[in-house]
């Protein structure tokens, strides 16, 4: 058995552009998914029955179906309805919808972990419920669940490989192409496996860095995130 990596390394620009596309998908879906998830957590905890029901249905639908099926449904569903969106746009949309549901559950746990005394103090000062979320609860909640959020968003980055199924030129998609023309599947997937690993490490470090920046209390206390 002999390994030959040269046909893969020769195509490094494709690997690079694939990795960049993967990071683009991950970053966009992380940012959008965090917003969706947070709103969803607020909605699910809300006393408006309709809002909490809609959020619950959304979360349970997404969490109990495979991502591949979700992305196909969105991809073919949109085109059947006459929307012609690019594959990348559809991928970001699908990833956002997917990670939004998981983030919603994480954020809900975060909101619920904030001591009832904090809610009460805000209420007694006259703050509305939304003002309390925004000024009082959001920050400590995110701080509390930050490690879970980090893991979720790294999972999202890895799951973005599935978008190769709708021809998004991300890392896995490009690898599929490379192995097809080089007839070196094992080497190809070994290489992108290592690249994914590196991207995960980079992402974790980035999240740690951001955490240290936005949570000065952690920094002062010197507690790791």
Partner 1 sequence: MNNATENKPVIVLRDVEKSFGQVKVLHGVSFEVQRGQVTVLIGRSGSGKSTALRCIDRLETVNAGYIEVCGHVVTDPALELRKLRLDVGIVFQSYNLFPHLTIGQNIMLAPRSVKNLPKTETVELARACLEQVGLGDKFDAYPEQLSGGQQQRAAIARSLAMQPKVMLFDEVTSALDPELTGEVLKVIERLAAGGMTMVIVTHEMNFARRIADQLVFMHQGKIWEKGPGAILDAPQTPELQRFAAQEL
Which positions lie near partner 1, rule CB under 8 A? 115, 117-118, 120-128, 131, 135-136, 139-140, 143, 217, 220
Closest contact distance (angstroms) between CB of 32 and partner 1 is 24
Closest contact distance (angstroms) between CB of 125 and partner 1 is 4
Closest contact distance (angstroms) between CB of 141 and partner 1 is 10
Considering beta carbons, is residue 38 or 160 the nearer one to partner 1? 38
Q: How many other C-beta atoms can be found within 10 angstroms of the C-beta atom of residue 69? A: 9
At residue 46, the 3 state secondary structure works out as: coil
N- to C-terminal Cα separation, the chain: 44
Considering beta carbons, is residue 63 or 135 the nearer one to partner 1? 135
Closest contact distance (angstroms) between CB of 37 and partner 1 is 20
Considering beta carbons, is residue 125 or 198 the nearer one to partner 1? 125
Closest contact distance (angstroms) between CB of 116 and partner 1 is 9
172/178 Cα distance (integer angstroms): 10
CA proximity to 8, closest of 185, 156, 196:
185
Considering beta carbons, is residue 144 or 204 the nearer one to partner 1? 144
Considering beta carbons, is residue 133 or 207 the nearer one to partner 1? 133
Closest contact distance (angstroms) between CB of 123 and partner 1 is 7
> Which tokens is 200 given?
């995960």
Say how far residue 185 (Cα) sits from the centre of its chain: 28
Q: What is the largest CA-CA distance in the chain?
A: 73
7/31 Cα distance (integer angstroms): 36
Considering beta carbons, is residue 4 or 120 the nearer one to partner 1? 120
Question: Hunting for tokens 């607020």 — which residue is that?
Answer: 42
Sign, CA dihedral 204-193-34-57, equals: negative
């Amino acid at each position: 058995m002999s390994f030959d990596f040269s046909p893969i390394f020769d195509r490094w620009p494709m690997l690079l552009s694939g990795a960049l596309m993967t990071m683009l998908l991950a970053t966009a879906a992380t940012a959008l998914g965090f917003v969706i998830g947070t709103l969803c957590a607020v909605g699910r905890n809300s006393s408006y029955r309709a809002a909490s029901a809609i959020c619950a249905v959304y979360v349970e639908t997404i969490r109990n179906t495979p991502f591949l099926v979700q992305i196909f449904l969105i991809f073919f569903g949109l085109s059947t309805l006459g929307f012609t969106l690019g594959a990348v746009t559809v991928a970001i949309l699908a990833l956002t919808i997917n990670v939004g549901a998981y983030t919603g559950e994480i954020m809900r746990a975060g909101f619920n972990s904030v001591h009832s005394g904090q809610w009460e103090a805000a209420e007694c000062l006259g703050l509305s419920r939304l003002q309390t979320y925004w000024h009082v609860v959001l920050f400590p909640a995110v701080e509390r669940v930050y490690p879970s959020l980090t893991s979720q968003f790294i999972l999202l980055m890895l799951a973005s490989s599935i978008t190769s199924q709708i021809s998004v030129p991300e890392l896995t998609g490009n690898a599929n192409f490379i192995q097809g023309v080089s007839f070196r599947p094992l080497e190809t997937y070994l290489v992108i496996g290592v690249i994914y690993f590196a991207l995960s490490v980079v992402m974790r470090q980035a999240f740690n860095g951001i955490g240290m920046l936005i949570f000065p209390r952690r920094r002062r206390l010197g507690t790791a995130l």
